Structure 1
Amino acid sequence: MQIGIVIYDEAEVLDFAGPYEVFATAARLCGTKPWSVSLISERKTVRARGSFPVQSHFTLDNHPPLDVLLVSGGVHTWAMNNTVLLDSLRRAARSAQWITSVCTGAFILAQAGLLTHQNVTTHWEDIDELGTRFPDLSIKENVRWVEDGNRITSAGISAGIDMSLHLVEKLHSRDLALNTAKQMDYFWES
């Protein structure tokens, strides 16, 4: 199973690093390596928030088929207008069992046409804007994540860790999700 986390310039660091740590830790604890997790971006290196340089495993052009597509949040306005990124997300979504986002990654999924009429959430600060830009979405407030069919969106930043633990539970088991949270010394709001 392939889990791909899409990042871009000005992506929020914890939006991708938190889920990455969850999936990598869970795979290590599992012992049988139920999945591989990778970072994917348009260019091999991006500058995340705070000018944090990040080198991806794959580019949008050369990543393997994904079973889980996760789009991180951050300063999303540029990403929403990047046709290369949006087209790549649409292609990746064709094989994905799960299409997910953290924080303002929901804007990017919606712009790509991958969230339509779903129940969704995003960072509390961006709830109104998401509803204004995409009025067909049903926005949920004061929740850590929302699952609707094979779409899962999370609230802001640290909520991506909670959503990722939820995905570990769905992809493998509740025991693995609980053990992962314990190993990470993280209080999981499940």
Structure 2
Amino acid sequence: MTKINVAVLVYPGFELIDMNGPIDVFVKANRYNQHKNVYQVFTVAESLDEIRSEHSTVRITPDYALSNSPQPDIIVIPGKIMSTDSPEGFGSVSNELITWIKKQAQHTGITIMSVCVGIYILAKTGLLANRRATTHWLSISDVQEQYPDIMLVKNVRFVPDGNIITTGGVTSGIDGALYLLETMEDPDFSQKIADIMVYNREAPLPPNTLLT
């Protein structure tokens, strides 16, 4: 089976489960797939400088910078939870990062997935225009106001639209990655990985998150 490059973007303040959830899906897939190490998972950032996660709780050194990253087949864009006193808006990243995503999107066969409020970064690229998408339930109305050309879907864990997948809040990045795995492998294998992760794909959404 052909190797598949999974690039996970990281930037200051990224949300840990947004990043780690999808990574764990592909790591587990490598472990239990008969085709070992199909998924080449790596982190990519603007530079190779150390990056701190949300509230600076974890520090990581990216595997690659934008300038030397291998060509990805899948790009995962985690969200960033802003502090209440932050002067920055959601999706506050450099133009260089936005340009890189747009450039990668031109490659045939690539899939791009945003997790939670990572949709703000993806929306800035223009790639979501006239597409169906979702995000964290607390951000649905704000994204709709800022980007009225996106067709926001409420009360779902993820939305696939062509080569773009958007997911709801935090743990739903796992749902998006399992869906991707299902399309590349088969439903039984994807469910096996969910079971190994003790993750219930059929669990109802929490009642207090449902929007009318």
Say which structure is richer in helix.
Answer: 1
Mapping of 1:10-29 within 5 angstroms?
Answer: 10-29=13-32
Distance (Å, rounded) in 1 between the aligned partners of 2:174 and 2:142: 23
Question: What is the CA RMSD across the aligned residues, in angstroms?
Answer: 1.6
Q: Which runs of 5+ in 1 are unaligned?
A: none
Q: Which runs of 5+ in 2 are unaligned?
A: 83-88, 204-212
> Quick one: percent identity of the two aligned structures?
31
Equivalent AA in structure 1 for residue 52 of structure 2: R
Distance (Å, rounded) in 2 between the aligned partners of 1:124 and 1:185: 24
Report the counterpart of residue 36 of structure 1 in structure 2. Answer: 40
Distance (Å, rounded) in 2 between the aligned partners of 1:85 and 1:75: 18
- State the 1:63 CA deviation: 0.8
8 Å CA contact 1:165, 1:181 repeated in 2: yes
Tell which structure's C-alpha radius of gyration is larger: 2
Report the counterpart of residue 51 of structure 2 in structure 1. Answer: 46
Distance (Å, rounded) in 2 between the aligned partners of 1:189 and 1:102: 19
Report the counterpart of residue 194 of structure 2 in structure 1. Answer: 181
The 4+ residue runs of structure 1 with deviation greater than 6 A are: none
Give the TM-score normalised by the residue count of structure 2.
0.84
Secondary structure, counterpart of 1:104 in structure 2:
helix
Distance (Å, rounded) in 1 between the aligned partners of 2:192 and 2:182: 10
> Structure with the greater relative contact order (CA < 8 A, sep ≥ 6): 1 or 2?
1
The range that moved more, 37-46 or 135-144, is: 37-46
Give the TM-score normalised by the residue count of structure 1.
0.94
